[in-house]
Amino acid sequence: MITLAVMSATLIQVLDTTIVNVALPHMQGELGTTSDQVSWVLTSYLVSAAICMPLTGYFADTLGRKRFLLICIGGFVIASALCGVSQNLTQIVLFRLLQGVFGAALVPLSQAIMADAYPPEERGKAMAIWGMGVMVGPVLGPTLGGWLTEIASWRWTFYINVPVGALSLFLASQFVPDTDRRERRMDWNGFGMLAIGVAGLQYMLDRGNQQDWFDADDIRISAVLAVIGIACFAFYSFRQGEKAIFDIRIFKDRNFAMSCLIMAAMGLGMFGGLVLQPILLEGLLGYPIVTTGIVMAPRGIATAITMMFVGRLVSVIDARLLVLVGIGFSALGSWMMTFYSLDITTINIVVPAFIQGIGLGLIFVPLSTIAYATMDRSRMAEAAGIYSLIRTIGSAIGISIATTVLTHQTQVIWNELGAHINVYRDAVGEYLRQLHLSPTDPRGLAVLARQVAQQSQMGAMLDVFKLITVSYVFMLPLLLLLRKPTRPAGSTPHAAAE
């Protein structure tokens, strides 16, 4: 019951990071906004969640873990319902900000509760169950969002959270154990610096590609705020030590620090490819929304299946070896994607994604287990908040890199291909004659332009997939720095005595 309670809460939170994506065009039409304005529906949620995530440890201590969880679930459900009834852009952006505030702590809280609910020898199983919700949610989001939008309305991408959240709220109130409350001083100075830094970084990463990066004033300002905020917070936290909003010395735990770096590096492979697939399937291959979701689903299914087994394996096999095998599978799947073309069949898309999904399942659970293996039990909630924040920022960086490289390479390849297309080339004339067109016909020029655009975008995607493949190789040196745990997670002398 504890598992069901926290997993349902986790699922609705991570679903909301992607479920709305496919519904944005429908929102744009109904709310009367531009494509740039409607993207604030995504940005507002991500920024507010990123700012509030580090507060998880503080509120879990001062309110008690159970009470804080109930507040977060209840607030998230109410904010979701308000998003569904929004009548204009201002309202939905405001309510999405509230969603992010209440939803920020759900993932780290659920992780900490799951880690505590299971004994140390079964903590790998706990991380596997928890990881299924965190990993499968973003993959199923576009599928569920497309289906709900098609059969009902975009508003149901928010209403769906209400019954699931109500179930989670009931189960959490009945079965989730509470923790002792302890007084903690709120470090508002540190929080202000961190909030400015994280908000600036998240805004820059989320909006940079649309705003042409540093050619836009708001991106330059957000970059300066990010650097100043994070640098001041790091310096201030070192000075304050345990009095800071979170003790930055937690990164002295090598396993936790290296796990955070690997998780951040996974952002490109995990979420970068996830952003490209809808563009490929819907934009270039002409798949309907629901079909796109179905074709993307095997990646998440493979991850879920792998996690079911790896939760048992992690207690008998060195977790570092499982992560290594997972990196190999993920790199293989990404490398197979570099052979995509405009003539590929559905099976050619599904197989590499399935292999990559197996790899992600093998990485995520053992890495989460390693991260907390040498961590003091009393710092679990605080560490989980930091780990989730870094995972969120890593995914934002990965998405930004993927979209920026795609945009840049599309322009480069367009120029390269366009240099070979002119009306005097025999191949151009022969191609158009097969379509009963001539090089001087405007329709013929339109056909050529469309072909060059499609091939340019396809070539750019292959470049991104190559970059993703290489990114997995660069994780290997970080993997070598992980230490094999010498004691079970949370087995401090006090915990051992208990």
Query: What integer is the mean pLDDT of 361-370?
Result: 82
Between 395 and 229, where is the model more confident?
A: 229
Q: Is the pLDDT of residue 486 over 70?
A: no
Which residues fall within 8 angstroms of residue 493, CB to CB, at 6 or more apart?
Answer: none
Query: What integer is the mean pLDDT of 390-400?
Result: 77
As given in the structure block, the two tokens for residue 430 are 């022969």
**What are 328-358's pLDDT values in tens digits?**
999 999 999 999 988 888 899 899 989 988 9
Q: Is the pLDDT of residue 496 over 60?
A: no
Angle subtended at Cα 391 by Cα 320 and Cα 302, rounded to the nearest 5 degrees: 60
What is the Cα–Cα distance from 345 to 333, expressed in whole angstroms? 16
As given in the structure block, the two tokens for residue 467 are 């970059």
Which residues fall within 8 angstroms of residue 222, CB to CB, at 6 or more apart?
Answer: 199, 200, 201, 203, 204, 207
**What are 283-305's pLDDT values in tens digits?**
788 887 777 777 877 887 888 78
Q: How confident is the model at residue 487 (pLDDT cuts 50, 70, 90)?
A: very low
Q: How confident is the model at residue 124 (pLDDT cuts 50, 70, 90)?
A: low
Q: How confident is the model at residue 11 (pLDDT cuts 50, 70, 90)?
A: confident
Nearest to 325 by CA among 295, 285, 365: 365
Q: How confident is the model at residue 491 (pLDDT cuts 50, 70, 90)?
A: very low
pLDDT at 23: 72
- CA separation (Å) from 106 to 72, 311, 455? 7, 21, 42
The answer to whether 425 and 431 are in contact (CB under 8 A) is no
The whole-angstrom distance between residue 399's C-alpha and the CA centroid of its chain comes to 9
What is the Cα–Cα distance from 228 to 221, expressed in whole angstroms? 11
pLDDT at 489: 42
Burial of 334 (0-12, 13-18, 19+ CB in 10 A): buried
Q: Is the pLDDT of residue 180 over 90?
A: no
Which residues fall within 8 angstroms of residue 105, CB to CB, at 6 or more apart?
Answer: 52, 53, 55, 56, 59, 60, 68, 69, 72, 385
**What are 217-227's pLDDT values in tens digits?**
888 888 898 89
The CA dihedral of 438, 439, 441, 442, to the nearest 10 degrees, is: 140
Angle subtended at Cα 171 by Cα 169 and Cα 175, rounded to the nearest 5 degrees: 125
Which residues fall within 8 angstroms of residue 264, CB to CB, at 6 or more apart?
Answer: 390, 391, 393, 394, 397
Query: What integer is the mean pLDDT of 409-425?
Result: 81
Q: How many residues does the chain have?
A: 498
Query: What integer is the mean pLDDT of 73-89?
Result: 89
Q: Is the pLDDT of residue 13 over 50?
A: yes
pLDDT at 36: 60
What is the Cα–Cα distance from 268 to 463, expressed in whole angstroms? 13
The answer to whether 139 and 303 are in contact (CB under 8 A) is yes
pLDDT at 493: 33
As given in the structure block, the two tokens for residue 80 are 């979701």
Q: Is the pLDDT of residue 306 over 60?
A: yes
The whole-angstrom distance between residue 225's C-alpha and the CA centroid of its chain comes to 23
Residue 439, classed as helix, strand or coil, is coil
**What are 23-78's pLDDT values in tens digits?**
776 777 777 776 566 767 777 787 788 778 777 777 888 888 888 889 999 999 99
Angle subtended at Cα 392 by Cα 313 and Cα 184, rounded to the nearest 5 degrees: 95
Nearest to 187 by CA among 248, 256, 257, 99: 248
As given in the structure block, the two tokens for residue 441 are 């016909």
Q: How confident is the model at residue 490 (pLDDT cuts 50, 70, 90)?
A: very low
Nearest to 323 by CA among 353, 371, 384, 364: 364
Q: Can you give the pTM of this predicted structure? A: 0.73
Sequence-distant contacts of 232-235: CB under 8 A, at least 24 apart: 232/193, 232/197, 233/190, 233/193, 233/194, 233/197
Say how many C-beta atoms besides its own lie within 10 A of residue 277's C-beta. Answer: 19
Sequence-distant contacts of 36-40: CB under 8 A, at least 24 apart: 36/210, 37/89, 38/89, 39/207, 39/210, 40/89, 40/93
Which residues fall within 8 angstroms of residue 29, CB to CB, at 6 or more apart?
Answer: none
Say how many C-beta atoms besides its own lie within 10 A of residue 276's C-beta. Answer: 23
The CA dihedral of 396, 397, 403, 405, to the nearest 10 degrees, is: 180
Q: Is the pLDDT of residue 449 over 90?
A: no
pLDDT at 336: 92
pLDDT at 488: 44
Between 137 and 260, where is the model more confident?
A: 260
Which residues fall within 8 angstroms of residue 82, CB to CB, at 6 or more apart?
Answer: 91, 95, 98
Residue 366's Cβ-side half-sphere holds a number of Cα atoms within 13 Å equal to 30
- Percentage above 70 pLDDT, the chain: 87
What angle do helix axes 319-337 and 346-373 make, rounded to 10 degrees? 150
Q: Tell me the pLDDT of the chain averaged across its residues.
A: 79
